Amino acid sequence: MPVSSHPDRERAPIVFGHKTALAILRSAAPRTLPPVAGKARVLPSRAPARGEVEAAIEHLEASYPDLRLERPAHVLVGSAALGRPSKAVKSHLLTVPLSGTSFYRLGDGVFACVPALAFVQEAARGKSLVAMLELGYELCGTYRTRRTGAAAAYGVEPLASVRSLGGYAARNASVDGARKVGRALRYLADGSASARETKQALVLGLPHRHGGYGLGIPCMNYEVGASRAAEALTGKKSFRMDLCWPERKLDVEYQSREWHEGEASRVSDSRRANALMSMGWTVVGVTNDELDSFAATEAIAQTLRRHLGKRAQIRTSNYHGRKLELRRQLGLPIGYE
């Protein structure tokens, strides 16, 4: 790694945290990185100099060509010597003892927080439950956005799981943000394949007080084995369901333009739906335009509620306004078209 720009003093370890750590880990792949063993202390007693951080970033970006870190870069310090704030580097104080693996070694004297710790840190900084949940779904899903990577991508390896996030937060309850993560776990799910699937899951699944339809958080990309008849119809031994409630055999398919256009796709979708219905499943399709329409989403939610056997008992004040606010926070249109 780069040599310190301050030869008269020992170079402080550089520990990247918060969203900077998440961006690094999206490119570096945590399974390839050595974890810091045991309770080894890596947090520096002073903030690293700006030149040291920039040199470390330059080395990382050379090692991982798809990595481009935004500024300011977020680093952790183990004492109150945070240094001067700048547009390039922002230091954060972390003094509480940590339990379990908390850091990966990126190189000589350079580290990154594990995804669970970075998520806890982002939860502490943020004020929006919805934004925190969107980040959590992305960490536990197979896609990335600008939140955790340089460019949008699909079919990527998850950085975390709901279980790993919850376990870390429980073991480190004194870390700022950990209790907030613990309270939000009930609304997270593994396996989302896109940001749009995540938005759909939150709109349908969140309770009324948060502006959702109160249907319960669905399982994401849940795998179901095919019956003999279903396999004969489709040639598939199993099916993955975008959003589903397995206990009620209810499958909601998000039909994006990218994956469901063309005659071949329509035939495949039809055979799949028929195969699942032969196995006792109900299949409901939701298009991109329907998710973007408040009126269409209302109608779909009513259909799903009936299939789930849930009564529409609204005891939340200003429920209509809360629904619109949730859509606004998710970046969904609030019109009726």
DSSP string, 177-200: THHHHHHHGGG--S---SHHHHHH
Structural domains in the chain, sorted by start: 14-182 (no CATH), 192-330 (3.40.960.10)
Contact by Cβ (8 Å): 159, 119:
no
Edge-to-edge strand order for the sheet containing 103-107? Answer: 89-93, 73-77, 14-16, 110-113, 103-107
**Tens digit of pLDDT at every position of the chain (337 positions):** 433 444 445 678 999 999 999 999 999 989 999 999 766 678 998 899 999 999 999 999 999 988 999 999 999 999 876 667 789 999 999 999 999 999 999 999 999 999 999 999 999 999 999 999 999 999 999 999 988 876 889 999 999 999 999 999 999 999 999 999 999 999 999 999 999 999 999 999 999 999 999 999 999 999 999 999 999 999 999 999 999 999 999 999 998 755 445 545 655 788 999 999 999 999 999 999 999 999 999 999 999 999 999 988 889 999 999 999 999 999 999 876 5
pLDDT given for residue 312 in this prediction: 80
pLDDT given for residue 2 in this prediction: 39
Spatial distance between the Cα atoms of 165 and 121, rounded to a whole number of angstroms: 12
Query: Residue 300 has which token pair?
Result: 């779909």
Spatial distance between the Cα atoms of 101 and 42, rounded to a whole number of angstroms: 12
pLDDT given for residue 5 in this prediction: 41
| Site of tokens 């938005």 | 199
pLDDT given for residue 40 in this prediction: 62
Spatial distance between the Cα atoms of 172 and 166, rounded to a whole number of angstroms: 10
Give Cα separations from 243 to 171, 196, 209, 292 (angstroms): 30, 11, 22, 17
Contact by Cβ (8 Å): 192, 201:
yes
Say if strands 282-287 and 250-255 run parallel, antiparallel, or are unpaired.
Answer: parallel
What's the whole-model pTM score?
Answer: 0.92
